[in-house]
Amino acid sequence: MKTLTYIEAISEALWEEMERDKNVFLLGEDIGKYGGAFKVTKGFHEHFGEERVIDTVLAENAIIGAATGAAMMGMRPIAEIQFADFVSNGFNQLVNNSAKIFWRCNIPVPMVVRLPSGGGIHGGPYHSINPEAWFFHIPGLKLVAPSTPYDAKGLLKSAIRDNNPILYFESKFLYRRIKGEVPTNDYTVEIGKADIKRNGNDISIITYGTGVHWSLEAAKILEEENIDVEVLDLRSLIPIDKEAIFSSVKKTGKILIVHEDTLTGGIGGEIAALISDNCFEFLDAPIKRIASPDTPIPFAPTLEDHFLPNTKKVLSALKSLAKY
């Protein structure tokens, strides 16, 4: 094992997959010599050359469209969208082309779109969003959102090897803030499998991405009050691991859903409906959600701190659930 930051884990996965398969290539804005806005691809240009590390024009529909067309040809493109917010410019290509081509034409579209997502970096309304819910609704796209270096590397490798269009939501808040153990040998994390990040019997938190860290901190604090919290990290949003969700519900009977994305129309609502449909008789309390409020993401530190979920908010929701 070795210790890597979250961003190093992403870089390593890209590097190793490019070494492994010559059909894997990268395209995106400023990813070449500059190494990308967040330096995920630093050194790639020199090693793999400009044909496989392509600096593109600043046009997201063209980037995602080109990735989709190349994927239909059997290449394995990985498109970097500089900030996940900008994926709205490539929305049509993703939802009308990438997502539908296999179903319409029986031609696989093995591509990955990397989406540096989320707030907490004072990026303001245009550099901070979590757009996963826009795509959660689209049949034909797979969505993954790692929370640890281990999952970041393993899920990215699986995504690159998968024969479908995959949106890879990477938390730029976590990039250099967390470190974790990662195997030195080649490994993958299966897409569609959730992971119990902490075992517990009293309350289940269902979460992903940054939410995992607030949840683990809150669970740790509640140890002192003898409240035993389970933290289920979805890791994949589509396909979603229903079995893992239902089995955790059946174990604890109390559910808190945590995500950084805003509340209304967020994927927490769908998870709540799945639980209600399938595990109603196992519930001992209403399903609770912690998410960001329904406003654009604010810039000023005072406002952003108020906007984002955090350990304290998770803790307070857990305490109210514990009372049932």
- Catalytic positions, written as ranges: 127
Nearer to another protein by C-beta: 71 or 189? 71
Residue from 116, 119, 140, 253 in contact with another protein (CB under 8 A): 140
Q: Does residue 106 belong to the site contacting another protein (CB under 8 A)?
A: yes
Nearer to another protein by C-beta: 69 or 124? 69
User: 58: helix, coil or strand?
Assistant: coil
Helix 149-161 / helix 6-20 crossing angle, nearest 10 deg: 30
112: left (phi over 0), alpha (psi -120 to 50) or beta: beta
Q: Does residue 310 belong to the site contacting another protein (CB under 8 A)?
A: no
Q: CA-to-CA distance for 83 and 118, rounded, in angstroms? A: 9
Residue from 10, 18, 31, 71 in contact with another protein (CB under 8 A): 71
Q: Does residue 62 belong to the site contacting another protein (CB under 8 A)?
A: yes
User: 289: helix, coil or strand?
Assistant: strand
Q: Does residue 68 belong to the site contacting another protein (CB under 8 A)?
A: yes
| Span 163-202, contacts to another protein by CB under 8 A | 163-164
Query: Residues 230, 136, 209, 207: what is their CA dihedral angle, to the nearest 10 degrees?
Result: -10
Nearer to another protein by C-beta: 64 or 231? 64
| Span 9-28, contacts to another protein by CB under 8 A | 25
Q: CA-to-CA distance for 233 and 223, rounded, in angstroms? A: 19
Q: How far is Cα of residue 127 from the mean position of the Cα atoms in its chain? A: 16
Joined together, the tokens standing for residue 301 give 């530190």
The size of the interface with another protein (CB under 8 A), counted in residues, is 41
The site for another protein (CB under 8 A) is made up of 25, 51, 54, 56-57, 59, 61-75, 77, 92-93, 96-97, 101-110, 139-140, 142, 163-164
